[in-house]
Amino acid sequence: MATQKPLQNLTFEPMCVSDLQQVLDIENECFEDPWSATYFTLSLKRPRSYEFFYVARCEDTIMGYIVFAVLYEEAHILNIAVPTAYRGQGIGKYLLASALEMIALHDGREVFLEVAVSNLPAQYLYRQFGFRICGIRKNYYGRHKDAYVFRKGAAEIDAT
Ligand SMILES: CC(C)(COP(=O)(O)OP(=O)(O)OC[C@H]1O[C@@H](n2cnc3c(N)ncnc32)[C@H](O)[C@@H]1OP(=O)(O)O)[C@@H](O)C(=O)NCCC(=O)NCCS
């Protein structure tokens, strides 16, 4: 799947410290158990070579972000969020397609992620990109909140 921009001025670029307030607002809006400000701040101030924090930016507005890690040939999508106001315009697809391109450039051959069993919009997004369920983690998001593990292999990465 080619990376198509849903909006003309949208860019995919590394998250900066100056993006943090907008990112935290989105994180708090999107998740019941959000990542902390401290975690984001430390990750940006002391980046790890295998971890990537990227935003979809339209001028000064952060329209979503994605966090992923690539270690040897294995990659993991750790976080993806688009604020409610901007959903349904292809920004999630743009973030995921852009991240998969970067993962391929960093020699990632397999990509994994966890998604709540109840989170159907995200599961539809991942399925479009060739991700398939390869496991289940019981109580991953808390009591009775299971997660599916989704996997996308090298063949599907090459085909995107
Ligand atoms: C999942 C998320 C990132 C999708 O972002 P988005 O910008 O709305 O996604 P897109 O507009 O690019 O849509 C991509 C695909 O996702 C699926 N999708 C998105 N919203 C959907 C909805 N409400 N119902 C069903 N499918 C949906 C569709 O397959 C869609 O493709 P289509 O438009 O060709 O049908 C967004 O809903 C979000 O931030 N959710 C909260 C955070 C979250 O759950 N993150 C994932 C954690 S694992």
In this predicted model, what pLDDT tens digit does every residue of 94-117 receive, in sequence order?
999 999 999 999 999 999 999 999
- The catalytic position among 65, 86, 94, 126 is 126
Residue 105, domain CATH: 3.40.630.30
118 in any annotated domain: no
| Predicted local distance difference test score (pLDDT) of residue 124 | 98
The predicted model gives 129-146 an average pLDDT of 96
Ligand 1, atom 4, lies closest to the CA of 92
Q: How far apart, in whole angstroms, are the C-alpha atoms of residue 64 and residue 82? A: 4
Instruction: Return the pLDDT at 2.
Output: 56
Report yes or no on 140 lying in a domain: no
Residue type present at position 53: F
* Average pLDDT of the chain to the nearest whole number: 94
Where does the pLDDT of residue 8 fall: very low under 50, low under 70, confident under 90, or very high at 90 and above?
Answer: confident
So what's the pLDDT on residue 34?
A: 97
Sign of CA dihedral 133, 157, 104, 91: negative
Q: What is the pLDDT of residues 13-45, one digit of tens each?
A: 999 999 999 999 999 999 999 999 999 999 999
Task: Decide: 124 in ligand 1 pocket, CB within 6 A.
Answer: yes
- Looking at residue 56, its amino acid is A
Is 138 inside any structural domain? no
Tally of domains in the chain: 1
Catalytic residue (choose from 114, 124, 140, 148): 114
Task: Decide whether any atom of ligand 1 lies within 6 Å of the 80 Cβ.
Answer: yes
Q: Is residue 4 part of a domain?
A: no
Q: Which of 58, 89, 93 to mutate to test the pocket of ligand 1 (most atoms within 8 A of CB)?
A: 93
Eight-state DSSP code of residue 35: P
